[in-house]
Every structure is written in C-alpha cells, then in structure tokens.
Amino acid sequence: MSLDLTIAVSKGRILQEALPLLARAGIVPEEDPERSRRLILPTGRAGVRLVVIRAADVPTYVQYGAADLGIAGKDVLLEHGGAGLYEPLDLGIARCRMMVAGLPGATPAPPTRLRVATKYVTTARRHFAAQGRQVETIKLYGSMELAPLVGLAHCIVDLVDTGGTLKANGLVPLELIAEISSRVIVNQAAMKMKHDPVKALLAALADAAGVPATASGGRAGAGGGG
C-alpha cells in the first residue's frame, strides 16, 4: 500500500471553510479547486492530494479506501452510518443544527402517524424511533420548507443555520436532533497501514484548527449529538 495520502473534501461551504485550515497544515492545492476541472489535485504537502466531490459521497470514498481521509459534515456521517470509518477530529467549521421544524402547532400528537419530509431519511427515522414514534418519511432534495405549507408533510428534518428561511416561510424549530460541524474521517485500514503519515496529518490539522485530536477517534456516524 502506497504511503501517499488522499483526502476527500466536500464541495461548497465545507471546502471554503476547510481550505484555510488545510493551508495552515501545509496542504495547499496546486490549482484552485473552485475553478479547476481536474478531479484530483496535488498539493504543496509532499505525498498529499485532494479529491473534491459531492458531500454525500465523501464517506463512501473513505469507507472503500478510494480516499484515506475525508472532511464531511456530521449530518452526512449520521446518515451514512459510519461503517469502516474513524472520526478522530472535529474541525469546528461549517456549523449549523439539524432540526425538526414545522408550522406552529401543526404537528399532531400520537397516535397520529407523523409525515416527515427530509433528505435525511435514516437519521429522521432513528430520531423518532428513539421517541417510540412511527413516522412516514418523504424524501425530498430541496425547498424542504415548502412541504408543510402545501400539506405534503406535518414537519421537516433539515439543517438550520440562522433560521431565516424557516421564519420567512412561517415555520419554527421544534426539536434539535444534532449540532452539526465538519469532521475529519479516516479509513480504518489506512489508520493501521499508514499510521505514521495519517497521525502526522491529523496532528497538523488539529493544530491548524486549534482543537484536540485523538489517536483514532470513535466510529463515524455514531451518536446524535455534536
């Protein structure tokens, strides 16, 4: 197994907030990831390269060893389940909350079956199952706030940053599911076979982010808290 390291990073906000941390760790892509058409980007740190992909794909690339490490939101990791992954480092970037939200007073009490619109189907089912409540989940990919307004669902499960979009559409936060931030995940085999370079890279990232790193971390996707 090569000792070179590949890091998978989510596009969008996570990439924008991760790039300064990566730079402080000596990981500067040789081309601008936002402009380059290349899918694999060498960096200024010897033996380290980046792949910039869709957020939902990061855990899969790391789980199957196509990337040794990844940077992904906790929301994605909760939905993925964390199989084959360690989660040794919380970078503390791209912070938000995963919430249940809906119209004030419009969520029916049990035994009425709750209809929930979300792209986080697994996480939503797990959350309500822990309350002993059966739900019907409706998978949507965008404009989640519309679902309660047109009667498609009683409530939604989605990420909330400032809450402005909820307020603009007459919705309110109902329950907190998890505090969300971006985490570093590591392939379990890479942690063993490439232990020294992985450990050095984690230490550099932890120092850049000003946060502690553990030797391996817990299984990614475990738990519901931040």
Question: For the residues 33-40, what does the mean pLDDT come to?
Answer: 89
CB 112 within 8 A of CB 170: no
> Which pLDDT score, from 0 to 100, does residue 217 have?
63
Query: Domain locations in the chain?
Result: 5-94+181-219, 97-179
Query: How far is 87 from 206, CA to CA, in rounded Å?
Result: 13
Domains 5-94+181-219 and 97-179 share a fold: yes
Asked if pLDDT for residue 226 goes beyond 50, the answer is: no
What local confidence, expressed as pLDDT, does residue 215 receive?
52
Alpha helices in 66-120 (DSSP H): 74-80
Under 8 Å between Cβ of 217 and 88: yes
Q: What's the confidence (pLDDT) of residue 34?
A: 85
- CATH match for 97-179 among 3.30.70.1070, 3.40.190.10, 3.40.50.11810, 3.40.50.620: 3.40.190.10
> In this predicted model, what pLDDT tens digit does every residue of 123-145 receive, in sequence order?
999 999 999 998 999 999 989 99
Mean per-residue pLDDT of the chain: 92
Model confidence, pTM: 0.90
CATH fold of 5-94+181-219: D-Maltodextrin-Binding Protein; domain 2 (3.40.190)
**pLDDT tier at 1 (50, 70, 90 boundaries)?**
very low
